[in-house]
Chains A and B, each alone.
Chain A
């Protein structure tokens, strides 16, 4: 398909900028002006609409395909939350308004959404307070670990390490490192749980905390979670709950009740805000009492007269992690979803997510290796090791599924399972959709015996077949204009700078 730049014709314009109604033509001195125009495409509005509509048709999406994508929770995104998020009474609200004198009065509706969302999340997770500021799950992790660091600094603790299980999401060790800690990795047992003996041998007084997903990334609830929390607390370490899998335990277990001190929630998973092809997300962070002083500012408070306000007066706060109050448009969607489902509806989502995952696991375990044969939570991890022995690897299966109109499961994650296929059907899929997927997976196993060579050509029905990723990284082409050496302004290069690289 053509690039929009290749559709460009000088003199065309897809949007009419209003004519000036002021009797002035201003200019800035020549030394401050750009010399070469930005080469944005010159196309008509219809051309823009066709181009992006055609692009959209080159995507899989929940609206069009089944996405049993483990750890990502690709469930239906209700339309009414979209329409609420675009209400002008919220969408047109300038974030500086509440910072003006008496400005809180101008945004009472928005502040109420944030405040009530915090209350709801506290009750749901057993935490004592929340910040809505973090802009995504990994941003929440960073906020949480910064608070852990502030806690230890305030107590004069000299801590060096954050413990993570080997099955953790990559964001956990990356976050710990960026917040200034070294990580200690703990291996899993053959049962898929954290190895407590290993943990015991590695815990010491320098441990700042432990980051954990529960249920963990192989979809199993950490049955000894309370013991783990005790061991960490014994060295004045803090327990961080990675909320990636919170959707598995709503109404069944609250992180705050089982020993976690700080946690984040991925609203796009548990509260089905849209993935958007990779963001924007929102990553509210909850804390127990011991960490409240360190929460980011501003904090939304309810005053004695019932009005909502912003409070910046927290001297021990870690400060600003976002420019304002978080990804409000995303939080509003999550808030609407929670209000609609209510207590019972939320418990139902968990129940059916877990039922669906166990159903898939049982139907598939005859043909696919099941590394941990026990009840799973909202997702299960299978291994394509038998098929791989016939030359059909997890990646090949993924590409075959694409040809069948199914988005592949997560593959090669967690790293602890060879040829991993991580499957999460979610509660919004029907038994029929799951049965169709299972039929395809049965077919995959049969074809892996009869015609394993066939897989290497998949997918064949998409706009492209497997792209050359090595070439993409070697002959980097990330900018049309640089590649076509047209208009990229000559970047002055300092020899000194070059020598640093």
Chain B
């Protein structure tokens, strides 16, 4: 018997008699014969044990033990054990969306704290309670800028993740939105080209820091130019880098988005991840997604609620700021636990460790004959490497030696076939890095 069904056969009979039905089939009388399935040929059920064995075996077909020097927006960071221990409490993961605040204060307070941690991380005034992932968050930010400005042109810097740029174009193909993209120059956003494209129809400029090539930047000047024309600036960020880097708030960014996977979420073959969005207080009513606010109850006790719900689809229907129904509460919970564990000092230490290991890797790779490392702009934990031959071939050979060596750029950037982007997190030891360099040397010199 199906272990997830509690009714016994005598209870079924009892209930059928209350309902006045002869059989369970009788309850489906609204379905006419022509509604019946033409086929329903599914496998027979299995025991839990059989399914677990089967899926464990499937897992063995994945190369999950490669040493990862790949990032591209998704990073192999260590996850403190307490994150899993707390987030796997049934009271959190089997709870419903907190529409009934009195019996959802746990989730609501956690989300308020998540929003607060994100605001202080990005230097922004308000944040929402999360969005699906970094890519959809960027799309939502673009739509938000269009709503705020009443304009329909978006400028995207070529340093924004190519995956995100493709997503933006997909989402807006049925809408009257115009895109312009500017290529990076010396690894960074091209000020002159961006300035030339800004006009009175431009809603926003989209930037990324560090950009897809790993270069870090201070976008203050671009932002100032954009603001002079009433144009908003959206910046996609990598949370861990903000342990060191100038914040979007300090630069004057209007809408910040990002992928929060690095804040305590596994790589998970692409999801679930954690999109986030933060902005200025004056734009909060134009922001999509759930927002948790603090208030009091009749006795003056601290209380948390979903607030400004009049923006959302379940109230506003076709006039809503977005069609989003859910956020990713459980991922946001993991992130706020992670951020609480690290704390103010832990974040700085972690960011510094990533910076140091990446720099060590860079210096080590530079010593290899035929390999050059781009130094045109400073980087955080990811950087571009120029190889003596096709990077995708090198990456293929490196897999055989146990390394996911980097992201070959040729796939998205024609003409950069010899380049790859290498990421180094705190999980890579000095020994890993030296072995990686040795393997890379062998591969490059054998080709």
Q: List, sorted by A's number, 30 A–B pairs whose CB atoms are closer than 8 Å.
A: A13-B345, A17-B426, A29-B378, A32-B245, A38-B242, A49-B85, A62-B94, A90-B59, A90-B64, A92-B267, A96-B404, A142-B171, A176-B318, A182-B318, A221-B31, A276-B333, A277-B98, A279-B331, A332-B55, A340-B48, A345-B45, A348-B5, A427-B7, A465-B297, A467-B303, A469-B307, A472-B293, A473-B307, A482-B126, A491-B249
Q: Which B residues between 292 and 340 are near A, CB-CB below 8 angstroms?
A: 292-299, 301-305, 307-308, 310, 312-320, 322-331, 333, 337, 339-340
Q: How far is the CB of B409 from chain A (nearest CB, A)?
A: 12
Q: Is residue A463 contacting chain B, with contact meaning CB distance below 8 A?
A: yes
* CB-based contact A24/B360 at 8 Å: yes
Q: Is residue B35 contacting chain A, with contact meaning CB distance below 8 A?
A: yes
Q: How far is the CB of A298 from chain B (nearest CB, A)?
A: 10
15 extra A-B contacts, CB within 8 A, seeds A17-B350, A28-B245, A110-B62: A55-B107, A65-B103, A80-B51, A101-B393, A108-B62, A226-B34, A249-B31, A253-B37, A281-B326, A320-B167, A321-B171, A323-B270, A465-B298, A489-B124, A493-B280
* CB-based contact B93/A77 at 8 Å: yes
Q: Is residue B271 contacting chain A, with contact meaning CB distance below 8 A?
A: yes
Within 8 Å CB of A201, what residues of B? none
Interface centre among A62, A100, A278 (most CB of B within 10 A): A278
Whether A99 contacts B357 in the complex (CB less than 8 A), given A319-B167, A323-B167, comes out as no
Q: Is residue A443 contacting chain B, with contact meaning CB distance below 8 A?
A: no
Interface-lining segment among B66-74, B189-197, B367-375, B438-446: B66-74
Q: Which A residues between 125 and 146 are near B, CB-CB below 8 angstroms?
A: 126, 135-139, 141-142, 146
Q: How far is the CB of B102 from chain A (nearest CB, A)?
A: 4
Interface-lining segment among A68-76, A284-292, A445-453: A68-76
* CB-based contact A106/B6 at 8 Å: no
Q: How far is the CB of A121 from chain B (nearest CB, A)?
A: 10
Interface size class, chain A: 35 or more
Q: How far is the CB of A77 from chain B (nearest CB, A)?
A: 5
**CB-nearest residue of chain B relative to A23?**
B360
Within 8 Å CB of B93, what residues of A? 61, 77, 82, 274-277
* CB-based contact B313/A94 at 8 Å: no
Whether A4 contacts B62 in the complex (CB less than 8 A), given A61-B90, A319-B170, A481-B116, comes out as no
CB < 8 Å: which of B91, B117, B170 contacts A59? B91
* 4 A-B pairs with the lowest CB-CB distances in the bound complex, closest first: A342-B45, A324-B270, A89-B59, A319-B170
Q: How far is the CB of A279 from chain B (nearest CB, A)?
A: 4
Q: Is residue B115 contacting chain A, with contact meaning CB distance below 8 A?
A: yes
* CB-based contact B166/A93 at 8 Å: no
Within 8 Å CB of A179, what residues of B? 174
* CB-based contact A466/B242 at 8 Å: no
Within 8 Å CB of A389, what residues of B? none
Within 8 Å CB of A355, what residues of B? 7, 12, 15-16, 19, 24, 27
**CB-nearest residue of chain A relative to B45?**
A342
Q: How far is the CB of A45 from chain B (nearest CB, A)?
A: 6
Within 8 Å CB of A478, what residues of B? 112, 115, 126-127, 284, 291-294, 307
Q: Is residue A454 contacting chain B, with contact meaning CB distance below 8 A?
A: no
Interface string of A383-399 (1 = CB under 8 A from B): 00000000000000011
Within 8 Å CB of B436, what residues of A? none
Q: Which A residues between 408 and 444 are near B, CB-CB below 8 angstroms?
A: 408, 413, 427-433
* CB-based contact A339/B54 at 8 Å: yes
Q: Is residue A60 contacting chain B, with contact meaning CB distance below 8 A?
A: yes
Q: How far is the CA of A188 from the CA of B70 in the complex (A)?
A: 54
* CB-based contact B105/A59 at 8 Å: yes
Within 8 Å CB of B110, what residues of A? 52, 55, 277
Q: How far is the CB of A335 from chain B (nearest CB, A)?
A: 8
Q: How far is the CA of A334 from the CA of B315 in the complex (A)?
A: 30
Whether A52 contacts B252 in the complex (CB less than 8 A), given A78-B4, A326-B271, A340-B46, comes out as no
Q: Is residue A198 contacting chain B, with contact meaning CB distance below 8 A?
A: no
Q: How far is the CA of A95 from the CA of B246 in the complex (A)?
A: 29
**CB-nearest residue of chain A relative to B251?**
A492
Q: Is residue A206 contacting chain B, with contact meaning CB distance below 8 A?
A: no
CB < 8 Å: which of B100, B171, B266 contacts A146? B171
Q: How far is the CA of A426 from the CA of B188 in the complex (A)?
A: 55
Whether A280 contacts B5 in the complex (CB less than 8 A), given A14-B343, A226-B35, comes out as no
Q: How far is the CA of A468 from the CA of B297 in the complex (A)?
A: 6
Q: How far is the CA of A475 from the CA of B296 in the complex (A)?
A: 11
Q: Is residue A102 contacting chain B, with contact meaning CB distance below 8 A?
A: yes
Q: Is residue B186 contacting chain A, with contact meaning CB distance below 8 A?
A: no
Q: Which A residues between 3 and 61 are near B, CB-CB below 8 angstroms?
A: 3-5, 8, 12-15, 17-18, 20-29, 31-43, 45, 48-49, 51-53, 55-61
Q: How far is the CB of B147 from chain A (nearest CB, A)?
A: 11
* CB-based contact A15/B269 at 8 Å: no
* CB-based contact B290/A106 at 8 Å: no
